Structure 1
Amino acid sequence: MWRLLSSLLILTLSTAAWAQNRTVTGTVTDSADGSALPGVSVLVQGTTKGVPTDLSGAYTLQLAPGENIITFSFIGYKTQTVTVGEQTTIDVKLESDATELTEVVVVGYGEQKKSDITGATANVKGEELAKQPVLTATQAMQGKVAGVQIISSGQPGSSPQIRVRGVGTALSGTTSLYVVDGVLTDDISNINTADIVDMNVLKDASAAAIYGSRGANGVIIITTRKGSSGTMKITYNNNIGIRQASNLVQMANSAEYNNYYQAAVGLPPPSSSYSTDWYGTILRNAWEQTHNVSLSGGTDKSTYLFNVGYLNDQGIVIDNSFKRLTLRLNNDYQIRENLKVGIQSSYSNSINQNGFNMIDIDAYGKIGGVYNDAYRAAPIIPSKVDGRYGNTSAYGNVGNPLLDIENNDMKVKENRLQGSTYLSYKPVPWLTLRTSLGADWKNSLNRLYNYQFLNDEKTFIVGGGNQTNPLSSLNVKQTQTFRWVWDNTATINKTIGKHDFTFLVGTTAEKYNQHWFSAIRKDVPADPNLWYINVGDANTSQNDGKGDAWSRNSYLGRLNYAFNQKYLLTATLRVDGSSRLPKENRWSSFPSVGAAWVLSRESFMQSQGWFDLLKLRASYGKVGNDQIPTDAYVQTVELNKAYPFNGNAGTATNGAQINQIIDPHINWEITKEYDLALEFAILQSKLTGEVNYYNKKVENALIKVPVLRTVGDKDGQIITNVASIQNRGVEVVLNWKDRIGDNFTYTIGGNVTFNHNEVVALNGGQAVQGGAVGSQGFTTITDNGHPVGSFYVLKTIGVFNSEADVAAYQSSNGTVIQKTAHAGDFKYQDVNDDGKIDDNDRVFAGSYQPVAYFGVNLGATYKSFDFAISIYANVGNKVYNGKRGARVDGRDNVEKDVVYKRWTSANHTQTEPAANTGNLPASDYFVESGSFARINNLTFGYTLPSAALDKLKIASLRFFITSQNLFTYKKYSGFTAELPGDPLNSGIELSSYPTTRTFAAGLNVGF
């Protein structure tokens, strides 16, 4: 009896002791040299409870009943998990994590260890992207990935343009493919940056070949956040700041304008007491803010993540703003041990108010929009006085930009629902069957209201001019887009001795559908509550509508093989069919092969102490591009065209007219690419790097070839496969990661890309013109031996100093070349020596494509403080100052520099002409350096230490201040050298949104 009671007492006491809180202590050291590791995260698994190690690597952790597993994690080291059991002292030795090469990255329809990849890929962590106050993650990626050029704009709601390893097409789409949780899309402006775990860029044809016809311009795979098992975690992140215009062009004030005008025209301008700064009138310092709240958690059977994000960018142009609300819900369910289901879904609602660059206000029969008007408007005209506007159109051929903004109301509303669901089943351990269905639905409503106003003295200080709108009008356009993609794959993973196999086969189907309808009606009341089409004058109605639809079907297979972790092989084949091409050319195959040799795993490398990793890889791949108009090969006819017989006196009879001449046999653009690279990690993986050479050639490139209009084509062009374009380049990436003492860690990273773009085979030798600038006509040409979209202009060889100089400038046969020129006019080179200056004298003057671009990224932490800076630079390219080139009226304003640097009788400069009224021909005078270097982001942060967090009863708290586009060094005299556009028209500044600089502060808090 006593023995039984004693046993029960002992058991009770033991149970009570186990049920009480326990204390675990210990130290954490480096496994290589035994040094103490301060700042190591010691966390109770499944909770937010944890402590950092102190300066001596020691820790003390309280465990509640049932808490029995601890994880130890630290940057640059492998995470270690320990089961406590009955231990009260746990000392841990952390092993160095060899460069993150054990990291698993997404490569398309699967995952691979970074060390096993044979193609050219790059990874950017979501936490790095979220630090920057930008609309899209793509902007934040600028300068962080070699071989990826990102051209961004400061306009609210705009998405940057991406070029992976140069321009590979002149017409077919240049947009990179985004894959968001399996959903294929061309636009991620709806994705909240805070939702992103990482972005994986597939750069070469070998890596992207698994996406076949979608991989020609590179693939960016985005993985969004998911929940993890454990108690619910709540996080809140925000930043609030101010945006301001940077790098504004200084325009002439009234005194400077009067001086220039009189010199150009010979008469003084009208007398005025005004000196209007038009950019100062329409621009402002604007607020921006973002807020994100996230809830995540789960069990071993299901996990969840719910996130709400709000972005408000006021815009530096008055009455301009962009607002976006995003919702994300990601769930994963482990139905059985071998059966898993997941759903990733997001919804976004955005409103873009008065984004004037999105729809050029052209209601008054004038060329250009708000920014063009602000550049050209004379400073002697007031902007607005006592409710009435200065009449710039009565003085010159340009509208009042303030009136453009205040008397036009444009709003673009967009709702977008994007999501995917998957089912993963493992009937046996080595086989995974997966099916996923993704969809992307978008509905946008564009509404533009033009208020009624007349060119009288009720509206303007002085009446007259052509800026008028006798009847109000409402223009409404509604667009609906729906895309779905269905993937089915089977993956076999087997290891037989030293042989590792992963074999993937599958099918994928994709369908896209879009339709839009627009309506215009005049005489609609000014009350916003009455802005409906049926309210206006029915006799003024105009309706239009159109649609688009295409589909793709694909079969794919990939084999990954590794022998003894030293010799790696990847072989891929994708067969694509596209409805955008005629039946006989609809299907094409896209193979690729990549191989790698991990030298550092060879026995002869084991005794050396330098290389932790040394890997040589090579690859070849082929991908396609079908991003052309859906009807490019379909002959279209316009019906009910009136045609009079017997001349004008005859009776008109309805007939039909061919709208366009087509090539019924157009085919795929094919990209073939070779890639050779060396990867390495040395000095205990403190220094890692990569050197990559690529040779990418696009064959059968689709371009528009001019044809005679007499054959019936309304555009005078035909789309056909007649060009080949080559990009060759070298990418270099270096990263250094180290620590000094116990409290200071730092990283230094840099990448540089050298790229040479060239048209190598333009069949028939018929060059393609582009880049129209006002009365100057074309400014670019695409021709053999030169980059796509090269500037093609007259060459200036000085300025005439006297009439005698004009007479003395003669061709070889004695003809005066510029007979109508005067002193102060440009002298243009007569290239063909025919005694005149015309388009036959144009020469190549560079292109917008850079010779090199690079990024530098630095980061450091000291105790609880952190610091990061990123720099991006672009060198060797040219831009065209189209604003100056489009100046066609002597009454237009001029830039301040032009006023003071111009040729005069006392200043015989040979680089700036005398005061003139514009209408200068396209020449290298307008071609300037596009090189620039910019501090993309600068951030300082402070994280509260654990002791303070315990008092506040929160898991984490970090404060930070940040600046985006803090400083830009550039030679270009215009607003910005970043000028997005299609390949034939890139690099021309006509009415670009001014570059913005942002100063912001925020916090990250976790519960």
Structure 2
Amino acid sequence: MKKNAESSKRYCLRLFMLSVIYLSFTQPSYSATKEDAVPAATIQADRVVSGKVINEKGEALPGVNVIVKGSFVGAHTDSAGEYQITVPPNRDTLVFSFTGYEIQEAPVDDRKIIDVTLKQLSSEMNEVVVVGFGKQKKITTVGAQSSVNAEELKMPVANLTNLVAGRIAGIIGVQRSGEPGFDNSEIYIRGISTFTSSSPLVLVDGVERSFNNIDPEDIASFTVLKDASATAVYGVRGANGVILIETKKGRSGKTRINAQIDYGLSEFTRLPKFADGVTYLQVSNEAYRNSNPSDPLPRYSQERIDATANGTDPDLAPNVNWFDVIFNRYGNNRRARVNASGGSDKAQYYLSIGYYDETGMFRTDQLAQYNSAIRFTRYNFTSNLTLNLTKSTKVDFGASGWISNGNYPGSSTGAIFNAAYVMPPITIPVKYSNGLFSQPRTGDMGNPYTMLTQSGYATRFESQLLSNIRVTQNFDFITKGLSMTGMFSFDNNNAHNIARTKSVDAYLATGRGEEGELDLTQTAIGTNYLGYSRENGGSRQFYLESAINYNRTFGKHQVSGLLLYNQSDKVDAFAGDFISSIPYRYMGLAGRLTYAYDTRYLAEANFGYNGSETFAPDHRFGFFPSYGVGWVASQEKFLENIKDVISFLKFRFTYGEVGNSQIGGRRFAYIATVGNGGGYDYGRNNTNNSIGGLGFGDYAVDVSWERAKKYNLGIELRTWKDAISLTTELFREERRGIFRQRGDVPWFVGIGSLPYANLGAVNNKGLDATLEINKPLGKEFKLGFKGNFTWNRALVLDDANAPWPYPWQQRIGRKLGQRFGYIALGLFQSEDEIANSPYQPGTNKPGDIKYKDLNGDGRIDSYDQAPIGYGSIPEIVYGFGPTFSWKNWSLAAWFKGISNVDIALYGDGFRPFTYGGERGNLLAAISDRWAPGNPDPHPFYPRITYGADNMNFEGSSWWVKNGAFLRMQTVQLNYEFKDMKWLQRAGMSSFDLYFIGYNLLTVSGFKLWDVELGDGRGSQYPLLKTYNLGLRCNF
């Protein structure tokens, strides 16, 4: 049986071609040392040792690592806590290790049975968390940071950004598209505090990198740094918060192999629903009659309506649901991944490969000689190797990356979706009965089907290789706690887009001839061959880091320090102009000093001194300090008597300054561009022209980084023997020096292009909180709950614009991103009401929207626009989820919600008959409209007209809809097989079957399309719900 298990492991290892490389590194560790060298006469035989590992409560501990000290020989305890291991000659110590417990060593001597009791670590005293440029014990940190269990991120999604919003306190995130390969979420830490870029700094294994395409299986920790104390060491890059991701490393012990595969179906969460052809014709007649009451003839005859209803002539009276034409009911996704880890006290390794494949929802033409279906495929790999060269020298090697290939229609996904959105159901058929393709006369409105299936195809190939090496040297022989680290990384990214596009001949039928043949007019001339175009992109990045660390305890005094230098150099490998070809460079120093007395009284100071080549030499570098203090009140003697009620209580406060060098994509903004300033025409008939002088393009004055002052008050509480934990943060930020173009200089001054400067200012405040409950209910049933909440509100202090005429128009003191529009009072109910109301431009009738005259001048105009709604970025994001486990079963769910957000509806498709009847579909919500026979004062649609002869579709509070929702983001049901003989025969330690559902349920008052898209027209590729079945096995 044991041989079979080892055979299975060797077979799985062959799947990892990269392991050969690592074996070449680790082989030297087998070489003999002086301690190993013994006379042949003293060589002993192998010894078999067995035993049981329990905790202090006497409970068996499965999965404990048992290794022979100084060798690769290792084993794991089974579900009963029992183990068996072969001890080679001249090795006489076993090492027992398990997460959350103290490492214990046991001498073998002549014993054949060794039972061990492991002591549990005190969580608050020993838990280590990731901080900027290092790690600290959690109990001594004073900065605001949150993390998520890496296990919660292992979901069937291609893009990791879609999982973090709502799972981590402090993160505001929304997903705006479900298109495979382009479905990443917008992520903000504690909201938006600037008019420029609000993207956080993301570091993967200490290097600035994107995390969109990381395989969740490879993540060891995911941490968010939120306040200045946590981010000041990043200086000009830290104002928008920092996300730290660490990938998995190897552990000592025998090789552990994990394999997983799953398959899933996907469908849209919600598609816009449109009226059918008959309803479209009838409403069109109503709208035409409302706009042309003197015309006795309808827009469409009853004969046309009957033909559409009966389907007697689909060529001339079509009735097409374009979404049904272009979309399949289901798509699918597939995942597979394998990883292996292990090692000895000399070397440890982690290797993984992953595969993800997703097929989109678009239909294809089976007769086409090319594939225009949406399909996104990605291959990931990660390899981390740790070598302990000596007792004081450690080297970490890391190499990872991914390769992706996307296939798409020749026309863009957005163009196809938009065409289906605005194409009326009665304009053209999919294609005519004689096989010819159709297209209307309107030049900017194509046939959605031909755009999808007859426009060729496009491919996008991307590859990324990430590599780094870190050397850590311990200098305990000089003074205890002193060490130095050095790191170098090189990243390479390439992207290649190839478009093979074509078009087809298309026609519009205007009637039938005497013999019934179609009268056709050609509306498009096709190419009928695949063209070719290519775009290349890519970058190369070098990063260098060197640091001195000090960490030491003197009795009750704990002191640590850090001094670090780093620099990076990033080059656009396919730069198209001189400015883009100049490397993006960054250089800086960072420092930290911490002090803790008796783990009760805490103090910390950080600084970042760094800069960017973006700014002028005199403004290139800046100093960013931060300070923090903390008090672990639960360590005080006067609280000892209530330890069972309040097991942990900590207060902390931080203040600091950080910067933001992301100024809207502008490089070298301090350098003015000078060009021809235009000329004057003179002479007979103005036939001559002279140069009027030189003109300045966009230029800036003393441009520098934005500077943010941040304050944070945090409280950590655990009660009832750690069964309940609560962390609450109150924060405030004042961001000044925001890069803005002046808007307060009047036109008559004569300056054509106003300068840019660090003028804007924003105040942001809010709170975030995390609640966890873990309560065992007996030995076999466990119940858990986790929730988090984030609220922020950012107000504009200065936007560099001139004052507005009226108080309600002022932007100062308003929310950042605040919408402005008319205040709708309802609908006009009579002609008398219209006559006695302020003047509104256009032809107004009962059923039209009535607006509020804010300035009392008797007319509705731009001076009556005021703040409406919250905006498109939510102020509140929250998430919560219960977990249950009973025997071999486990069930977990996660709900994500957003609030204080809205959607402003606009544009054709949503707006009926914008261009008469030629363009614009009708949403099914058209059934809820005002009409003489349905004088509802609060319908969805007001009176419907042809064209734009009134103010019904101006931006106003009428069209601002609540965008709040609660979504069941994930649900996972798992069954674990254990204690079965067939597992042992297969060499497996565990085997799991599971079901995962993603985006299965959404509760929202907004029903037109997926509310999270935040789009005012609903013309985006919708989000997906998925159903996945899979299996996971561990060897």
TM-score by length of 2: 0.83
User: 1:742-777, CA deviations, whole angstroms, 9 ceiling, x for partnerless residues?
Assistant: 112232111112222211233454589xxxxxxxxx
Higher mean C-alpha deviation, range 938-947 or range 264-273? 264-273
1:161 aligns with 2:186: yes
1:279 aligns with 2:323: yes
> Which secondary structure does the structure 2 equivalent of 1:822 belong to?
coil
Unaligned runs of 5+ in 1: 1-11, 362-367, 519-542, 769-779, 811-815, 981-986
Q: How does 1:947-966 map to 2 (within 5 A)?
A: 947-948=980-981, 949-966=983-1000
Change in Cα spacing, 1:409 to 1:500, as seen in structure 2 (3 Å) is same
Does the aligned pair in 2 maintain the 1:661–1:712 contact within 8 Å?
Answer: no
Which of 458, 463, 468 is matched with 1:415 structurally? Answer: 463
Change in Cα spacing, 1:294 to 1:819, as seen in structure 2 (3 Å) is closer
1:350 aligns with 2:397: no
Does the aligned pair in 1 maintain the 2:75–2:253 contact within 8 Å?
Answer: no
1:564 aligns with 2:593: no
Does the aligned pair in 2 maintain the 1:289–1:312 contact within 8 Å?
Answer: yes
Does the aligned pair in 2 maintain the 1:809–1:818 contact within 8 Å?
Answer: no
User: 1:284-341, CA deviations, whole angstroms, 9 ceiling, x for partnerless residues?
Assistant: 2111112112233333222222221111111223422211112222222222222222
User: 1:895-929, CA deviations, whole angstroms, 9 ceiling, x for partnerless residues?
Assistant: 54432110011211223302234642111222111
User: 1:85-139, CA deviations, whole angstroms, 9 ceiling, x for partnerless residues?
Assistant: 5556666555555556622222121111111111011122322211x11123232
> Per-residue deviation at 1:387?
8.5
> Per-residue deviation at 1:504?
0.6
Does the aligned pair in 1 maintain the 2:232–2:607 contact within 8 Å?
Answer: yes
User: 1:492-535, CA deviations, whole angstroms, 9 ceiling, x for partnerless residues?
Assistant: 122222211111112111222225468xxxxxxxxxxxxxxxxx
Partner of 1:37: 59
Change in Cα spacing, 1:881 to 1:918, as seen in structure 2 (3 Å) is farther
Which of 352, 355, 374 is matched with 1:307 structurally? Answer: 352
> Per-residue deviation at 1:219?
0.6
Q: Aligned equivalents of 2:84 and 2:464: distance in 1?
A: 47
Change in Cα spacing, 1:95 to 1:711, as seen in structure 2 (3 Å) is farther
Does the aligned pair in 2 maintain the 1:731–1:753 contact within 8 Å?
Answer: yes
Change in Cα spacing, 1:872 to 1:565, as seen in structure 2 (3 Å) is same
Change in Cα spacing, 1:709 to 1:91, as seen in structure 2 (3 Å) is farther
Partner of 1:435: 486
Q: How does 1:733-752 map to 2 (within 5 A)?
A: 733-752=770-789
1:551 aligns with 2:598: no
Q: Aligned equivalents of 1:469 and 1:711: distance in 2?
A: 53
Does the aligned pair in 1 maintain the 2:540–2:573 contact within 8 Å?
Answer: no
> Which secondary structure does the structure 2 equivalent of 1:151 belong to?
strand
Partner of 1:255: 278
Partner of 1:370: 416
Q: Aligned equivalents of 1:452 and 1:712: distance in 2?
A: 49
Q: How does 1:291-330 map to 2 (within 5 A)?
A: 291-318=336-363, 319-330=373-384
Q: Aligned equivalents of 2:859 and 2:355: distance in 1?
A: 61
Q: Aligned equivalents of 1:108 and 1:459: distance in 2?
A: 69
Partner of 1:508: 566
1:694 aligns with 2:723: no
Does the aligned pair in 2 maintain the 1:807–1:819 contact within 8 Å?
Answer: no
User: 1:590-618, CA deviations, whole angstroms, 9 ceiling, x for partnerless residues?
Assistant: 11111111111122222323222111111
Q: Aligned equivalents of 2:320 and 2:231: distance in 1?
A: 53
Does the aligned pair in 1 maintain the 2:437–2:450 contact within 8 Å?
Answer: no
Does the aligned pair in 1 maintain the 2:374–2:407 contact within 8 Å?
Answer: yes
Q: Aligned equivalents of 1:933 and 1:255: distance in 2?
A: 35
Does the aligned pair in 1 maintain the 2:51–2:115 contact within 8 Å?
Answer: no
Which of 818, 843, 851 is matched with 1:828 structurally? Answer: 851
> Per-residue deviation at 1:233?
2.7
Q: Aligned equivalents of 1:437 and 1:282: distance in 2?
A: 49
Change in Cα spacing, 1:126 to 1:998, as seen in structure 2 (3 Å) is same
Partner of 2:888: 864
User: 1:710-746, CA deviations, whole angstroms, 9 ceiling, x for partnerless residues?
Assistant: 99999x6654322211221122211011211111223
Q: How does 1:10-89 map to 2 (within 5 A)?
A: 19=46, 21-25=48-52, 28-29=54-55, 31=56, 34=57, 36-37=58-59, 40-45=62-67, 49-54=75-80, 59-66=81-88, 69=94, 71=96, 73=98, 85-86=109-110
Does the aligned pair in 2 maintain the 1:582–1:664 contact within 8 Å?
Answer: no
Q: Aligned equivalents of 2:747 and 2:463: distance in 1?
A: 42
User: Residue type matched to 1:969 in 2?
Assistant: V
Which of 874, 882, 899 is matched with 2:926 structurally? Answer: 899
Higher mean C-alpha deviation, range 37-46 or range 922-931? 37-46
Does the aligned pair in 2 maintain the 1:516–1:545 contact within 8 Å?
Answer: no
Q: Aligned equivalents of 1:712 and 1:469: distance in 2?
A: 50
User: Residue type matched to 2:139 in 1?
Assistant: S
Change in Cα spacing, 1:442 to 1:389, as seen in structure 2 (3 Å) is farther
Q: Aligned equivalents of 2:687 and 2:678: distance in 1?
A: 15
> Per-residue deviation at 1:656?
8.9
Does the aligned pair in 1 maintain the 2:796–2:816 contact within 8 Å?
Answer: yes
Does the aligned pair in 1 maintain the 2:323–2:420 contact within 8 Å?
Answer: yes
User: Residue type matched to 2:649 in 1?
Assistant: L
Q: How does 1:377-776 map to 2 (within 5 A)?
A: 377-380=423-426, 381-385=428-432, 391=438, 393-394=440-441, 398-406=445-453, 407-428=455-476, 429-456=480-507, 474-514=532-572, 516=574, 547=581, 549-609=583-643, 610-628=645-663, 629-637=666-674, 646=683, 650=687, 658=695, 660-706=697-743, 718-765=755-802
Higher mean C-alpha deviation, range 212-221 or range 892-901? 892-901
> Percent identity of the aligned residues?
25
Does the aligned pair in 2 maintain the 1:321–1:352 contact within 8 Å?
Answer: yes
User: 1:73-95, CA deviations, whole angstroms, 9 ceiling, x for partnerless residues?
Assistant: 47x76676655555566665555
Change in Cα spacing, 1:77 to 1:70, as seen in structure 2 (3 Å) is closer
Q: Aligned equivalents of 2:675 and 2:261: distance in 1?
A: 54
> Per-residue deviation at 1:782?
8.8
> Which secondary structure does the structure 2 equivalent of 1:783 belong to?
coil
> Which secondary structure does the structure 1 equivalent of 2:850 belong to?
strand
Higher mean C-alpha deviation, range 621-630 or range 737-746? 737-746
Partner of 2:916: 890
Q: Aligned equivalents of 1:649 and 1:452: distance in 2?
A: 45
Which of 905, 910, 926 is matched with 2:937 structurally? Answer: 910
> Which secondary structure does the structure 1 equivalent of 2:336 belong to?
strand
> Per-residue deviation at 1:653?
8.0
RMSD: 3.4
Does the aligned pair in 2 maintain the 1:244–1:286 contact within 8 Å?
Answer: yes
Change in Cα spacing, 1:93 to 1:645, as seen in structure 2 (3 Å) is farther
Q: Aligned equivalents of 1:855 and 1:427: distance in 2?
A: 45
User: Residue type matched to 2:221 in 1?
Assistant: D
Q: Aligned equivalents of 2:321 and 2:121: distance in 1?
A: 58
1:944 aligns with 2:977: yes
> Which secondary structure does the structure 2 equivalent of 1:354 belong to?
strand
Q: Aligned equivalents of 2:502 and 2:809: distance in 1?
A: 41
Change in Cα spacing, 1:192 to 1:650, as seen in structure 2 (3 Å) is same
User: 1:363-419, CA deviations, whole angstroms, 9 ceiling, x for partnerless residues?
Assistant: xxxxx7222222211112323456857645336962222222221423222121222
Change in Cα spacing, 1:135 to 1:25, as seen in structure 2 (3 Å) is closer
> Per-residue deviation at 1:554?
0.8
The alignment covers a number of residue pairs equal to 927
Does the aligned pair in 2 maintain the 1:49–1:955 contact within 8 Å?
Answer: no
> Which secondary structure does the structure 1 equivalent of 2:641 belong to?
coil
Which of 956, 965, 988 is matched with 1:932 structurally? Answer: 965
